[in-house]
Amino acid sequence: MELIQQLVNGVSLGSIYALIALGYTMVYGIVKLINFAHGDVFMVGAFIGFYCISALHLNFFLALIISMVVCALLGVLIERIAYKPLRNATRIAALITAIGVSLFIEYGTIYVRGAQPNAYPSNVVPDTSLNLFGVKISSQSLLILGISVFLMILLQFIVHKTKIGKAMRAVSHDMDAARLMGINVNNTISATFAIGSSLAGAAGVIFGMYYTKIEPLMGIIPGLKAFVAAVLGGIGIIPGAMVGGLVLGVIESLVSALGYSLWRDGVAFVVLILILIFRPAGLFGKNVREKV
């Protein structure tokens, strides 16, 4: 029963990682950029949700939607200001810029509101425990899973069934050919950042509701773990990010259950090292030969 309990906790945590990882993997799939500022968009989402609930007295779902919209706009702003001018620059220049944007958001937030942590109200969502065959499952865990699954299905629908989704897949496959076919590449890349950032914003609100405590540097560790999840599933592959996030969440919960809770952050990076050694393309990736 304890094992099943930890699996439930792991799936809840993994759902949050998966939502953040989707942003990493979408951006990498299109512009081959690791957006290290993505974890800080997650943090901004958590704070927007907090202020919507505590200051504006909105309900959880309205706060979630507002957070997603604001984070989508923030994602587009970051892309247009920081990454678009570096579209043809070296990979290392874009990577250093991403780290710079990350630090700017973190310490800009500290400058504006201070470094003190805040706590989500405990009654944001009624927390009742369901007893299924001796396993206590929190209604919040089920809500997290439900929202995450809904957003992932919605993302799959957007990518495979809508015009912007087809444009994103075309740009991902061959940017120059997509441009020749009349696709507006700049708008498609901005849309990718908007969708990925909105998912990170949703993850921030869910994280705040579940763990209550939020602070300006909270995006660093979940952001890095979500990056590990994206690599685990196969960076650039959307289903891989979902599975990678869930697997990483379950592994962490099982490590905590075995009494090694101090090692739970380290385990994520052990997983990263093992994946890079034994399966660099990730669980869903294929090794691609490049001519040099």
Per-residue pLDDT tens for 164-193? 999 999 999 999 999 999 999 999 999 999
Confidence (pLDDT) at 286: 67
Question: How is domain 2-117+130-278 classified at the architecture level of CATH?
Answer: Orthogonal Bundle (1.10)
Q: Is the pLDDT of residue 247 over 80?
A: yes
What is the C-alpha separation between 234 and 14, in angstroms, rounded? Answer: 16
* 291: confidence class by pLDDT, cuts 50, 70, 90: low
Cα–Cα distances in angstroms (integers) from residue 162 to residues 119, 156, 189, in the given order: 38, 10, 15
* Region for 128 from its dihedrals, namely left if φ exceeds 0, alpha if ψ lies in -120 to 50, beta otherwise: beta
Q: By CB neighbour count within 10 A (0-12 exposed, 13-18 middle, 19+ buried), where does 51 fall?
A: middle
Residue 1 has pLDDT above 90, yes or no: no
Does the global pTM surpass 0.75? Answer: yes
Tens of pLDDT, residues 43-87: 999 999 999 999 998 999 999 999 999 999 999 999 999 999 998
The whole-chain average pLDDT of the chain stands at 91
The pLDDT value recorded for residue 123 is 80
pLDDT per residue over 81-117, tens digit each?
Answer: 999 999 888 889 999 999 999 999 999 999 999 999 9
> Within 13 Å of residue 196, how many CA atoms lie on the same side as its CB?
37
The pLDDT of residue 53 is 94
- The Cα-based distances of 58 to 55, 61, 72, 79, 198 in angstroms read 8, 8, 20, 30, 19
The SS3 of residue 213 is strand
The pLDDT of residue 108: 96
Residue 287 pLDDT more than 70?
A: no
Written as one letter, the residue type at 280 is P
Domain ranges of the chain: 2-117+130-278
Between the CA atoms of 55, 61, 62 and 63, what dihedral angle is there, to the nearest 10 degrees? 40
Is the per-residue pLDDT at 119 higher than 60? yes
Let me know how many helices (H) and strands (E) the chain has, helices first: 11, 4
pLDDT at 212: 87
- At 9 the pLDDT is 85
Q: What crossing angle do the helices spanning 185-211 and 163-173 adopt, rounded to 10°?
A: 110
